[in-house]
Amino acid sequence: MKIGTVLNEMPLDDLITAAQKIEAAGLANIWMANIFGYDAIGVLSILGRETKTIGLGTAVTPTYPRHPTAIAQQALTTAAVTNNRFTLGIGLSHKIVIEDMFGMSYAAPAKHMREYLEVLMPLARGETANFDGEQFSVHGVNLSVPGAEQLPVVVAALGPVMLKIAGELADGTSTWMVGPNTMANHIVPGLGRDDATVVGGVPIVLTTNVEAAKEAIARELVIYGQLPSYRAMLDKEGAGGPADIAIVGDENTLRGEIKRFEDAGVTHFSAAIVGFEDGAYDRTLEFLSTLT
């Protein structure tokens, strides 16, 4: 299992410094969310020019606001810029964003993702996209991006229908707020294949101040206990909220809990380090470097 970490938004120069620090620590991947700040694909192309070996990926970029041919062109460009170290992670986002904020229909999300991938995946493989569906109709589109040799695509899939789509059409899934039992019994088997990429994103911190850390996680990540897709995964795990999924404690605790994700079938562990107290981020990153 590869060990990576989430890189949160900060000024660009600080992002570059942080990415170089993470690479120097020996971690395998940097993952960035695309929310309401930087365009994550664009930023990762910059970070790819400022690093040498570390993998880079979005976790994740929403599909609805971006035509699949447009996101393919952007992602293939980033693949070329980063010497093919880029993984495109895509997801539906949530009804509250797509419908309530953007004014777009969220009526058939699974159909949207299936059709989206029917267009995107041929382009990611360097093939011509030809597809007629209810939401997308694309004919004779072929993208030629010099230097782009591969573009892995993972889908933020949690429910059974989305997992099936991700397993059939994409390279795997990128998850957040999924515990190890749910990963082993629901996510991994739901993909229906043995060679899938499975990214597991989890809050983590190395600390002796366990209760304070969990209180900070519960406070800062409260929204993830309320959004329906994440709430469903927490319920499957028997977790009351994000703090119950988080990995918090000493080195032995962290090592043991991370091993549970590996045993569950996670191929890429994505550590969302919670810097709730002085030194928490640096010592957690240093610990993760011992696992690579």
- Cβ atoms within 10 Å of 79's Cβ, excluding its own: 26
Give domain status of residue 234, yes or no: no
Give domain status of residue 244, yes or no: no
Q: Tens digits of per-residue pLDDT, 127-137? A: 999 999 999 99
Environment class of 67 (CB within 10 Å of its CB; exposed 0-12, middle 13-18, buried 19+): middle
Q: Which residue has the tokens 């040498």?
A: 52
Please confirm whether the linkage preceding 60 is cis (ω < 30° from 0): yes
Per-position pLDDT tens, the chain of length 292: 999 999 999 999 999 999 999 999 999 999 999 999 999 999 999 999 999 999 999 999 999 999 999 999 999 999 999 999 999 999 999 999 999 989 999 999 999 999 999 999 999 999 999 999 999 999 999 999 999 998 999 999 999 999 999 999 999 999 999 999 999 999 999 999 999 999 999 999 999 999 999 999 999 999 999 999 999 999 999 999 999 999 999 999 999 999 999 999 999 999 999 999 999 999 999 999 999 9
Looking at residue 40, what is its pLDDT?
98
Q: How far is Cα 148 from Cα 88, in angstroms, rounded to an integer?
A: 13
Q: 72: domain range?
A: 2-203+250-289
Q: How far is Cα 59 from Cα 90, in angstroms, rounded to an integer?
A: 7
Give domain status of residue 227, yes or no: no
Give domain status of residue 242, yes or no: no
H/E segment holding residue 270: strand 268-273
Q: How far is Cα 87 from Cα 75, in angstroms, rounded to an integer?
A: 8
Give domain status of residue 100, yes or no: yes
Looking at residue 247, what is its pLDDT?
98
CATH of the domain at 143: 3.20.20.30
Length of the chain equals: 292
What number of H helices and E strands is found in the chain? 13, 12
Region of residue 222 (left: phi > 0; alpha: psi -120 to 50; beta: else) = alpha
Give domain status of residue 16, yes or no: yes
Q: How far is Cα 173 from Cα 60, in angstroms, rounded to an integer?
A: 10
Tell me which DSSP letter residue 132 carries: E
Give domain status of residue 170, yes or no: yes
Q: How far is Cα 89 from Cα 55, in angstroms, rounded to an integer?
A: 13
Q: How far is Cα 104 from Cα 91, in angstroms, rounded to an integer?
A: 15
Give domain status of residue 63, yes or no: yes
Q: Tens digits of per-residue pLDDT, 261-283? A: 999 999 999 999 999 999 999 99
- By DSSP bridging, strand 86-91 and strand 55-58 are parallel
Of 174, 175, 179, 198, residue with least CA distance to 245? 179
Number of independent structural domains in the chain: 1
Task: Summarize the chain as % helix, strand, coil (round to 5).
Answer: 45, 20, 35
CA distance from start to end of the chain: 9
Both structure tokens of 285: 């990153």
Q: 3-class SS at 192? A: coil
> Please, are residues 58 and 41 in contact by the beta-carbon 8 Å criterion?
yes
